[in-house]
Amino acid sequence: MLINSLGFRTDLMLLALQGSAIEEHDDYLAVRSPHNPDFWWGNFLLLRADPSSTSVLHWEEAFTREFPTASHRAFGVDGARGGTAAFAEFAAAGYDVEASVVMTATAVHAPPHPNRDATYRRLDLADPLDREAAIDLRMANAPTREPTGHRRFLGESMTSMAALQEKGAGSWFGAFLDGRMVSGMGLFSDGHGLARFQSVDTHPEARGRGLAGTLVHYVSTYGLTALGATTLVMVADPDYHAIRIYRSVGFENTETQVAIELAP
């Protein structure tokens, strides 16, 4: 199946590796993750056509047809888009319309101010200590989420990542100071040239110390060598401060990824 968007192409690559099903229709793809039904972006429609040329009601009916019991709605838009202005009808209907920057690198270099105090290593997600360290870090970066449900969701996500790591499709990594994980991320690939970063996090108390940039460089080197990737893909919020970190090691803006969602 042809997917123009590099961001969604790598999203679907990882979902397929985790066992998600992708079903083609004339004007959209239906993506289903029965192993993780609460994951909105594992259960969504990827719209091939420009959704602004069709009514919101049309897409809502399609979503309900594909996911009759879902309490959320989520639509991805294939192709590189310039922004969110074309999706005003969705916004007026209460949807969050987000435009993220898809960044890529075919080579990387060390950040201008690397952190040499931390220990950088691959995690063993089958080890409860490593697994919980990764989950605790992600919880620290989600202070507004309902803690019980979000920790359960992150646990399910880490179970999926552990399965990918076990089959050699990539790894999760951490930066440690005094034995505490303070920065972390994953990188995974299906072996066909693209490798996608997952959940780049630095603990709020450890930011501004060069940890994320040093770890991104470390993990990128792993991707270009051990994974044999030719292109590394990172998706970032254009307004988030970390985007400059990715640029500092060689990532460049490539396209825009538009995602449209409605919470329960």
- The 3-class SS string of the chain reads CCCCCHHHHHHHHHHHHCCCEEEECCCEEEEECCCCCCCHHHCEEEECCCHHHCCHHHHHHHHHHHCCCCCCEEEEECCCCCCCHHHHHHHHCCCEEEEEEEEEECCCCCCCCCCCCCEEEECCCCCHHHHHHHHHHHHHCCCCCCHHHHHHHHHHHHHHHHHHHHCCCEEEEEEEECCEEEEEEEEEECCCCEEEEEEEEECHHHCCCCHHHHHHHHHHHHHHHCCCCCEEEEEECCCCCCHHHHHHCCCEEEEEEEEEEECC
Q: What is the CATH number of domain 119-229?
A: 3.40.630.30
| For the chain, domain boundaries | 6-100, 119-229
What pLDDT score does 36 carry? 83
What pLDDT score does 165 carry? 96
Q: What is the pLDDT along the chain (264 residues), one digit of tens a residue?
A: 789 999 999 999 999 999 999 999 999 999 999 888 888 999 999 998 677 778 999 999 999 999 999 999 999 999 755 567 778 899 999 999 999 999 999 999 999 999 999 999 999 999 999 999 999 999 999 999 899 999 998 998 999 999 999 999 999 999 999 999 999 999 999 999 999 999 999 999 999 999 999 999 999 999 999 999 999 999 999 888 889 999 999 999 999 999 999 998
What pLDDT score does 2 carry? 85
